[in-house]
Chains A and B, each alone.
Chain A
């Protein structure tokens, strides 16, 4: 791992839904500019962990420290925290009643109070960056899945977040559209964006990831550099999981 400062630090994080104990004593650190990849079987708690990091789910117990500041629902305006932690969803969740550009300028203008002209200018730059500069005026329903997800990435970036969370960003895509989204994410990683990515794309994890975390049944079983974890998994569970998906 790089020597950069800690962007996110999670200590003894616990989360339950009613009687279902979903996250058990999670400890995790994400350093600035690192790409951390979360892998694990369905139901192991990957999404829940990600959603705790931007407080879409509220933890029951433990510490979440973001950029050196311990965040608690009681003492912090979580909306302000979420401005700094962008999220991209499996099913894009674009706003269907707004154009592509409308999606992108919504939060900067409504939340940050940025002037519309300014937001439009910045939004078009972001759309160029994700390769959709000509699509700003269309509605999301006219886009392919891969294009939708790239718009969703641009929408999150428009808030100039310090961290980006991705929850299976390519799982809902036709195979031929996965590449364009992964390459957009790779570009982002190369620019130094701090990212936490839940994915089943092991090629991406190996190539772009700085750190891989394997979860099973609400616990972190093993974590390490991609090469170590994929080529020499220490835990039997990790070995089983890896051989089941490869």
Chain B
């Protein structure tokens, strides 16, 4: 019982420092996922283009991301970017996370685009719409709807993965937990505390994604 009480004491007393870490985690996640989404859309379009070279470029990117651990990608981009173009730690971390999620998002979007019936493209083209207009107005809106559950899932993974940028010295949620744990020589309550924060974030995101899915299901 005293263990549980101790955990609650730690949780309450550490609210201030964790809120700071929480803000950084949210900023990192939002920035990296927005960029990852743009990267993902870009490479998805390369993959479905009929141009071999563009497909190869997309394949190479996805191969590199899949074939190396995220922590390696973060360190390479951190040392690469901060030394070469003097990016700060935050943006180096964002770059590493976005580079990573972008590949998975590309595959999700590509799959969703290819799952849309070919008749949709033909209907658009038969009305005089260009291929670009058909993609933008007819195919992508349907593909995004279909991708919402997978994208939501990938966003959740992205948020949890953002904990790895603590290894380049970011004091986001996990960084705060590690620092507090070692400062107080008392690890478990702080790691439990950080677990609660992640659970809450993921719960909120899950509810939002479910609401979005319901709303979009209305027309189908």
Contacts and interface: CB of A to CB of B under 8 A. Distances in A.
A93 to B, nearest CB: 4
A96 B220 CA distance: 7
A110 B219 CA distance: 21
Nearest to B128: A83
A140 B219 CA distance: 8
A97 B125 contact: no
Nearest to B119: A93
Interface residues of A, number: 27
A56 interface: yes
Interface string A98-128: 0000000011001110000000000000000
A91 interface: yes
B145 A97 contact: yes
Interface string A147-162: 0000010011001000
A106 B119 contact: no
Contact of B137 (A79, A106, A112, A152): A106
A141 B218 CA distance: 10
Given A95-B138, A96-B142, A139-B219, A79 B122 contact: no
A87 interface: yes
Contacts of A86: 126-127
B133 interface: yes
B129 A107 contact: yes
A73 B183 CA distance: 72
A155 B127 CA distance: 8
A82 B127 contact: yes
A89 B142 contact: no
Contacts of A94: 123
B123 A93 contact: yes
B128 A80 contact: yes
Given A89-B119, A96-B220, A110 B142 contact: no
A14 interface: no
Contacts of B127: 82-83, 86, 106-107, 111, 155-156, 159
A111 B126 contact: no
A54 interface: yes
Contacts of A97: 141-142, 145, 219
Given A97-B145, A141-B220, A89 B123 contact: yes
B120 interface: yes
B116 to A, nearest CB: 10
A80 B133 CA distance: 14
A84 to B, nearest CB: 8
B130 interface: yes
**Which of the listed residues B126, B129, B138 has the most CB atoms from chain A within 10 Å of its own CB?**
B126
B117 interface: yes
Interface in B117-152: 117, 119-120, 122-130, 133, 137-138, 141-142, 145
A97 to B, nearest CB: 5
A107 B220 contact: no
A106 B129 CA distance: 9
Contacts of B220: 96, 139, 141
A170 to B, nearest CB: 16
Contacts of A89: 119, 122-123, 126
Given A95-B138, A97-B142, A139-B219, A159 B128 contact: yes
Given A89-B119, A94-B123, A107 B128 contact: yes
B123 A95 contact: yes
Nearest to B118: A93
Given A79-B128, A106-B129, A111-B127, 19 more contacts: A82-B126, A82-B127, A82-B128, A86-B126, A86-B127, A93-B117, A93-B120, A93-B122, A93-B123, A95-B142, A97-B141, A106-B127, A106-B138, A107-B124, A110-B133, A110-B137, A111-B128, A155-B127, A159-B128
24 contacts: A79-B125, A79-B128, A79-B129, A80-B128, A82-B126, A83-B128, A86-B126, A87-B122, A91-B119, A93-B117, A95-B142, A96-B142, A96-B220, A106-B127, A106-B129, A107-B129, A110-B129, A110-B137, A111-B129, A139-B219, A141-B219, A156-B126, A156-B127, A159-B128
Q: Which 10 A-B pairs have the closest CB atoms?
A: A83-B128, A107-B127, A93-B123, A93-B119, A87-B126, A139-B219, A82-B128, A111-B128, A79-B128, A97-B141
